[in-house]
Amino acid sequence: MIRLKSIGDAIPPVHRDGWPFIVGTVAVASVFAFVFPAIFWLLLILAGWMAVFFRDPERVVPTAPGLVVSPADGRVEPIVRAVPPPELELGVLRLTRISIFMNVFDCHINRSPVAGRVARIAYKAGKFLSADLDKASEANERNGLVIESEGGLDVGVVQIAGLVARRIVCWTSGGAGIGAGQRIGMIRFGSRLDVYLPEGSTIVAAAGQRAIAGETVIAMLPGTTLAPPFPTRRD
């Protein structure tokens, strides 16, 4: 049984990128406190939701080589074979794509699906269609990363804006070393992430399941023959 030392252990911290939104909303709410109480309370509720949206919980990351972990909290969409976005330069053949759809109540911190080196980062302007539509992968604004795994295989991960999401944030840079489950960015507010896997990967995730960023194993790279329990680290 897990024992919490304090109530703070049960409440995940808010990421620093969220504080300007939360503080700004509370400040505006205070203006209406005595003039329009209804607006005051609505804005306080909005500030509370933002604290949930920008939460940044610690995760227990599987560290065995060859594992691909979910880059986002959310629902696994139907798994398909699709041509990767051209800016990733992963070729013109169809690869297995696993998409994670985040609703506005999911944690929106995005994490690297594999350990390795950031070989490429490519931003592409686009539309803001609902992120649960399949065509959003091609039409919407997106930011793609190609991560060369420790085994030398390229894995593509794409942050895709959605109907509400209007801001993609990436915290890493080309050439940087990165660990599986390490924070790479976020999308405000809602959207999806696509993972493009090298040929021969074994799919572990299933459409409709809930995935946890940095924790849920969604696939294994070619040549990986592992079984749980996996070694882990906290991040």
Active-site residue numbers?
Answer: 191
What helix, strand, coil percent values describe the chain, rounded to 5?
20, 35, 45
Contact 17, 24 (CB under 8 A): no
Question: Apex CA 71: angle with CA 67 and CA 74, to 5°?
Answer: 120
Question: Apex CA 70: angle with CA 66 and CA 75, to 5°?
Answer: 145
Torsions phi, psi of 152, nearest 5? Answer: 85, 10
The Cα–Cα gap between 107 and 135 comes to 24
Question: Apex CA 181: angle with CA 49 and CA 201, to 5°?
Answer: 120
